[in-house]
Amino acid sequence: MNRVFIPLNLPQPDPVPADAVVDSLSGLTMGTSWSVRLIRPAGCDLKTMQDGIQRQLDLVVAQMSTWSSDSDLSRYNHAAADSWQVLPEHFLKVLDCALAVAELSGGAYDPSVGPLVNLWGFGPDPKRSERPDDVAIARERQRCGWQRIRIDRARHALLQPGDLYLDFSSIAKGYGVDLVAAYLRSVGAVSYLVEVGGELYGQGVKADGQPWWAGMEHPPAAAGADEHVQSIAALHGVALATSGDYRRYFDDGERRYSHTIDPRTAQPVAHALASVAVLHADCMTADAWATALMVLGDEEGLALALSNGVAALFISRDGEGFRERLTPAMQAMLG
């Protein structure tokens, strides 16, 4: 059974030829894959478009990767205490979005959570198979705190107060999606679906007049559980980002530790919420909100999404099955 979400106030899509063919491109970036399906604009060959897309994503890696030792992010993270680091425009745009969500979420989202992400084995450091000790957790927690970030707008510079370590892993893929979409618009594409590591943005319609339909991720069901309702969304001028505790984790004894770290407790989240899907006008913001709501859980997260008008679908574990809750903004899109 399918449940359909159609965003409100959709702009009128640009027409495409009745015989338009959908081309597919793909590649690798940020430790994952990317794919683009599009109706190619006249005068653009696929090789040129492939290279143009990859350039956008390489820019994100060059500026925002914690895995790359020579990225702008790594340069900042390893800079001397009390030094000001001049940083590029895209970096600061992503940081501004991250800080806005950090403030709105009361620190449930925090771009400085990197030391804890690394300690728990979900960053560039080696993976773990057991919980870190309390002393190490307390030590790395002292390094975090989005309130320590200071920006000099006139100089496009960021203060390194000492041992602050930023991590854009929960927002960079979304921004990569937005950059690719902007590039496609710049070369005249009017119909495309962009995906980077599961985060999506769609624009326009295909030759049959149908929008780009995207299925929303659902957590793996327990063996023998009833088949769930499949939610699909029409992506036309809309992004879809998902955060789930089932994507990366490790087991230590009877406890499973998710890659989603709550900056407020310095621990992986331990509530019943399994995933959150967010629809938003841009993928960078959707990506950050999905993480923030995943950290908060279904009660606090739902309340925050409600107060900020966020369109979100919450899926929580309930015995052997799942329970779904929709914000009013998401409910309003039900077709």
pLDDT tens digits along 291-316 = 999 999 999 999 999 999 999 999 99
Share of the chain above pLDDT 90, in %: 74
Helices (H), the chain: 46-64, 72-77, 89-104, 114-119, 134-141, 172-186, 283-307, 328-331
Residue 222 has pLDDT above 60, yes or no: no
Whether 303 and 314 have beta carbons less than 8 Å apart is answered as no
**The predicted structure's pLDDT at residue 268:** 87
Q: Mean pLDDT, to the nearest integer, of 140-148?
A: 94
Residue 267, C-beta contacts closer than 8 angstroms, at least 6 positions apart: 137, 261
Q: What's the CATH fold of domain 65-160?
A: T-fold (1.10.3980)
Whether 114 and 120 have beta carbons less than 8 Å apart is answered as no
Q: pTM for the complete prediction?
A: 0.93
Provide the token pair at 84: 């000001």
Q: Which of 71-80, 191-200, 238-247 has the lowest mean pLDDT?
A: 238-247
Whether 4 and 334 have beta carbons less than 8 Å apart is answered as yes
* Cα distances (Å, whole numbers) of residue 275 to 12, 98, 310: 32, 20, 15
Which pLDDT tens digit goes with each residue over 30-47?
999 999 999 999 889 999
Backbone φ, ψ for residue 70 (5° rounding): -105, 15
- What is the pLDDT confidence band of residue 257, given thresholds at 50, 70 and 90? low
